[in-house]
Structures are given as structure tokens and as C-alpha cells.
A and B are shown apart, each in its own frame.
Chain A
Amino acid sequence: MDAVAERAVLGVTGLSIGLRTGSGEIPITEDVSFSIGRGEVLALVGESGSGKSLTALSLMQLLGANLFVAQGEILLDDGVGFSADIAKLGTRGKAIQSIRGARMGMIFQEPMSSFSPIHTIGQQIAEVVTVHETVSRKVARARAAELLEKVGIPDPVGSLDRYPSEFSGGMRQRAMIARALVCGPSLLIADEPTTALDVTIQGQILELLRSLRRDIGMAILFITHDLGVVAQMADRVAVMYSGRIVESGPVRDIFRNPLHPYTRALLDAVPRLGDIDRGRRIRPISGSVPNIFDPPGGCRFHPRCPAAVLPRCAAAMPPRFQSDGRMVECIHGDKALAG
């Protein structure tokens, strides 16, 4: 992680998101740190309520009402002279607006609700160009067509004048990727981009994202709960649980030798095709995901953890161990890392 961090496109350090309520501020995510290098795909994995989507939104200062970046640094560095700490830019103003959509693009789970139904695809992609650059509408339109072609939409010029409702789910997702990329961002944030799609369409979109990374060296933050997609897409993985990153490391290490009991339990809980004949029984994680407003004390996973040592795990946050690009936050972490 450290070697990459020197030239990281995005370096997040100690990021915490809080929620303002009538009775004070509640931490939602805590001390989240990761970095993404050029041409690298980092998968942020977690279940619903783990804070993975909020972390993604905070990177563009797009947190909703009452949510705010409480602490930490979000360093964006495009490698050719631009560098900024987004955490300091605030949610409004020219500085952050010049980054959103231009230096960072984002795609979402539901492509239908991400487009305006009453503007054409062409208008909505060209708008991104005209907002960020001083170009004529004609040039912006040409750029939009060029991007639609790049993401594999047949008849790109004709598609400019069509409405989102005339596109199928997979085509809409392609159009959304085109819109996110039209200004040549150095980082693409993909929040569950294939969850709403059929498996064969998912395959097409993942292939498209892989080719973008290969051909233009795009750095991608890929947010998902699907371990199969992670295994296919990611170079490195960060596993989030109840607002904290509990483990991170290269994808092969995470799948072959998971260090955190949660990661291990998650991998044991998913069915695999390779097991059809072997009769392996999947092992569910007992209990349920903790309420983020009232998380358990100490290690957030300890009530569900098969390796918990009480009262130690409940009393204090476990230490963080790091070595060789791997990180784990668990009292057994040093032994796990050594063995």
C-alpha cells in the first residue's frame, strides 16, 4: 500500500463521517484510510449499513443533509500538477464543483433514477462538458458521441437524441459511464454499478470497466457487496464493517488468506459453483448487522465473532496491525499476519 501511496490518485487518511442530530453528533464511519493508484481498482466491500456508500459520497462532498466530514484527509492527485485536499474544500463553491464530474466521475446502482427523464442522453452528457470547460455546444455534443461510442453504444450519434427511457438497463448503465468519463477524470467511483443488472449484462459492464482501466489507466473505487464481482474486478480490497475498515490487502491475499474473522466468515457464507458436488455447507454469520446509531462497544464485530475474546474485545477497539500492504484490525491480527 505504501509504495503505491506515493503516486496515489486518491489518498484517504483517517476519514470520519458524522451525523448531526438534535441531541448531538453521532459518528457514522470512523478512521477510514485507503489509497488508489493509477490504473488500480480498489474494491470497498461491505454489507448494507457498513458505510461504504457514504464513504464514496464523501469523496465528492456529496453527503446529504446533516451528514458531514468530521475528520480526515481526502487527497486527490492527478499526477500532472493538480492536487487538493477535498476534505477542506467544503460542500459548496467553485473549488469542489470543478472537481465533481470533471476530476472524479461517479456511477450509481440505478441508472434510471440517475438520468433526467425529460432531457436527451446527448444533452445530459454534453452538459457535463459545458459546465466544466469553455467549449461550444457543438464540440460538447461531439465529445458526448465519442464517449458513447467508447462505451459500446451502437449508433452513438443517433443515440444522442434519444431519451433514457428508450434505453435498456445495460445501455443506460453504459450511458452513465460515458457521462462520468466525458471530462477525463482521474478517478471513477462506481457504487454497486452492476447490482441492478442481469448477470450477462453485468458481465458486459464489468468487461467495459476492465478495458477502461487497461486502456486509459483509470483508477476505480468499486463499491459492492458481491464477493464474486470483487474477485473479478479488484486489485486490492478493503472490507468495511459497521463504519470501519476491518481488513485490507491485495485481492488474492484477502480471498486465499483472510485475516479478520469477519472477512473469513463472509467468504464462508457465500455459495460457490465449485462446491455443487462437494456438498459444502455454507456457514451463515449469526446475528445481524449492527445498528449504526448504536454500535456495540469495542470491536464492532465481537457479538457475532467466533474468535472473540471477552471481555477484551468488548472493552476496547482492537489494535491495527499492518505489514506487506495488508492491514487488519483485530486482537488476533498479529498472529494472523505472522501465520
Chain B
Amino acid sequence: MTLSIRNLRLSFGKTEILRGIDLDLEMGDCLALVGESGAGKSTLGLSVMGLSRGSASGEICFKGRSLFGISAEEFRELRGAEMAMVFQNVEDALDPVQRIADQIAEAIKVHSSSTRARDASRLAVRHLSNVGLNKDKAGMYPHQLSGGEKQRALIAMALVNDPDLLILDEPTASLDALTKADIIELLRSAIVGRMCMVITHDLSLAASLAERMAVLYAGRIMEMGRTEEILKGPRHPYTRGLIRSYPAMDATKDLQGILGQMVHGLPGCPFHQRCTQRIDICSLEVPKQTEKEGRIIACHRGGIVPLLEIKALSLTLDCYPVLRDLNISLCEGETVALVGESGSGKTSLSKAIMGLYEPDRGAVILEGRRVEKRDSAFYSRVQMIFQNPRESVSHRMNVLNAVIEPLLVQKKGSHEQRLQRAKKVLSMVELPIDDDFLKRYPHQLSGGEVQRVAIARALALGPKLLIADEPTSALDPSVQAKILKLLMNLQDRMGLAILFITHDIALARKISDRMAVMQSGRIVEEGATNQLLSHPSHPYTRRLVDCASGRYDGGNGDIILDRDVAELIAEPGDQSALEKYC
């Protein structure tokens, strides 16, 4: 074990910036520290380097030696020689009145007094050429270099004494994509055989450099594990929020931020104020880090909670099998798009979940409990938005009555409280709450307004899961965009899980995290939306994606007929037919 950090705490005055960090780094490991600004990433790096002010406690063990309690002089010898840091701000890290080569030669001389000045300069020039700066550049002053070149110089400076621990603080911030690619290439070779910590908020950099990743929030590690796995399937709500707000090239869903601001020094879980799945204990106790399948998560609820699971659901209507052994699951705050042509059973599934149809077999599991009877508790967790708002809102009810209806049905609160709640949900869906509007009838409203009223109705009971059955198919595209934005905002705010039923793949692509493709009452393919759309594996999915992208000939000149695919799907066991087709 060459670097181990145990229960590291650090505070500036009364504010605790690091609240018990546990980390281990082996030789050859590269760990990315990610998190939003102020999370304590740089402070952690600086405290390992012994450069942070503030009072620290805990233990940092570097190559078997505790770094707490060693003298400033000893620390100075370690720095540069055995551990080095590439600082964030390239403009400030270099001395503006010295040539680059001289600055590097100085770093060499500090750590080996025996080296002569000329040798040091020669070494410096060689190191600079190693990072791609030629002799001419080596003789220049920092202001004569571009940002990328300065970054290279800094990397060279960190590497001159061949340190075992390299800490990179935002090494590619403020670089353009091409320069960034060059620097990443350089860093990749630089970190080989060393312990490395990459401090960044750039997830793509973390993905390309580090095999492990730790997500920091307000001085605590929220999630730690293999980079690839975390980026593909975040388990902590904060990690998911971070990934959702990162504009990756392969992301298809619209960017979503995490609401609220980071506050240091909260009791309990540092993230609980912004977390949409918090429970009482979250504000009282700091969650312990638990390891499961190689992933460390600090969450009282064990990470993102699975909200709904449907197991082997079968439904027969009029002797015709509509759903056949269907499995699907949904997590808190997640949007799953259910796509497929009309008649594939999408709406029947939603109705079966809501209890409007009685399934023959199978289980609906909500928050870990099997739903036996759909009582008011179930309906206050799960709500539905119907396809045509003009039909789902009774034409005899004005806006107020329509929104109050669910509360009335569940006998929640006094009349005054219901009125307050109705006004609250109406303002959540961005509708006016003046008396004139409350007294209007559905036929006096526009399509978008009625759908908002329908959404407000569904929200009145404070559900966690929203089943949206083609909620925008009756609306024009600009109103549709507004409604979808609204749904995403509500998801951010309340952690709503949304089962979004649609036949519009392009639409599903923009709003869903995962996508499930349904055909003849079965889910034929399921996966992360971007993955599924870029590499559809099932022929039916491929056809759907092709047709949605305007390629009606299947890409190879053959026109795929519906019945061809239908025949293939009719006998899913018949692999040979599938292979022949593929």
C-alpha cells in the first residue's frame, strides 16, 4: 500500500471542507477525483502534498510513512522528488520572469545538489522535448507560450524528478479539443508506473485517464469504483446528477442539472438537501461507505432506489395475449422510454400497472413490496398522465375541481389545505392560479394548458412514479417541447421516475435514460438510450431506428417488410431464422 488516506478531515475555521476521506492508491493506479467546484477535490490533492492550510486530522500514509507530524523540511524534500502536482492554473504556476528551461532546471537542482547547473539545463531541455516542447520553446518565457505549451511545461516540471505520486489538478481545463487530446496522450504515458490522482470535473478526461473514479461531494466520497462502470451505471444520485449535467458526445438526453447549491457542514449526509430520495435518517447520520460488487457507495438508501419492478407480467384481453411474460424495472429519478409500434401493448402495460386491467400472472413490485391491492397508498406513489388530456379531464370540471379531485378522492386535508395544494401544483406546472383561471373549463383552455392541468392532477398526490402515455401526441411540437421540459424539471425537482410511453423514437431519445423496445407484448430489447440507438441489436429495434431516421430500406438496399420481421419475432426461439436475417 503506497498511499493510504484514513479518515482525513480538514477544516478552514469552522467550516469542514473534508469530512473523513478514505482512499488507497497502489503503484500504477490512477484515480480520478470528480465533483462540482467546491467539493474539496483540490483541497484533498493539496493536503496530500502538505500544501493546504487549515487544521487537518486523520492519517495520510505515503510509502509506509505518515505524512502527519513530519517537519516542513522533510515534506519539502518529498515534494517534487517523490510526489509532484500539476497545478490547475497554468498562468499562475509558472514564474513570468524566468525562461521555461531555467524553471525546470531549478526544480532539478533543488532535489539533487550534486547536479551541476549545465547538466541541469541540459536535462531540463531533454525533459521539455519529452513533453513535446523543442529547444526553441524551452528558451522562451511563459507569456510567449500558448496555453497547451504552458501545460506541457508544467507536466515536464512535475515529472523531472520521477515522482511516485503525481497529482494532476484540472490538467486540461481551458484547452481546446485538439490540444486536449495531445495533452491526454502525453499524460497517458506520463502516469504509467506511478500513483496518480486526476482532479477534474471533466468526466471524459476521467474516463480516458483513470481506471478508478471517486465522486466527491462536500468533502465526502459519495461513490467510488471503476470509471467505466460508474459512468455507465451510476448508483449514487449525486453521481447520476453529475453525469446528467455533463455534455458528453454520446449523451442523447437533454442536460439536466442538480437543483440547489452545495452547502458545507450540513449534519447527516452532505447531499441530503439536494437529494430527491432522502428519508429522515439522511439529515441525522452521516452514511457509512459500503462496498458492493467493487463499488463503494455512501448512501443510507444504498444508492439509487429501484422504484418499480415488473416481473413476468402477462395479460390477456378477449382471449388475445396482450402482454407476455414482460419484465421491466425503473429506478428513482429515471426516465425509461417504452417504444414500439401501436398495438404492441404499451398502453395495456401502463393500464395493467395502474390496475385498470387485471393481469393474469406476474408481479408488480413497488419500492420492494409486491403490490397485492391497489389502495390509496399505491395511487399516491404512482400516477398516470393520459394520452388525450381533453378526455382524461372531465369536461364538467373546472380547473380547480379537476386538480382537487385526487385529493378529494383520497380525503386528504381540509378544504383549505386542498386549495393550497392545488394552487401549489398548478404553479409547479407553470399555470396561473388566479380565480379566473381556476374557474375555467377544459374546453376554454388550449391543448398545452389542459395537459398541464392533467399533469398537475397527477402531481397533486406527490407521486414518485409517473406513467406518461403519449402525453404529447395531441400537441404541436412547440407545446410538446415545453411539456417535456416541464416533465424533466419536475424530475430534477422531485426525483420522479417516468415511464414514458411513445412511438416517437426521436422524442424518446431526447428525454430518456433507458429505452425498452416492445413488440407483440414482449420487451425485445432494453438498454441505455444512447447505446441502444447507436447499436441496436434486435432486428425489430434496428428497423424502428432505421425508420425513425428516415432510412426505409434498412441501409442495404433491401426493403424490410413488416411481415419479415414479424415472422422472425413470432418464433423467438428460432435463432436460425434470426441469424439468416441478420
Partners in one complex: no
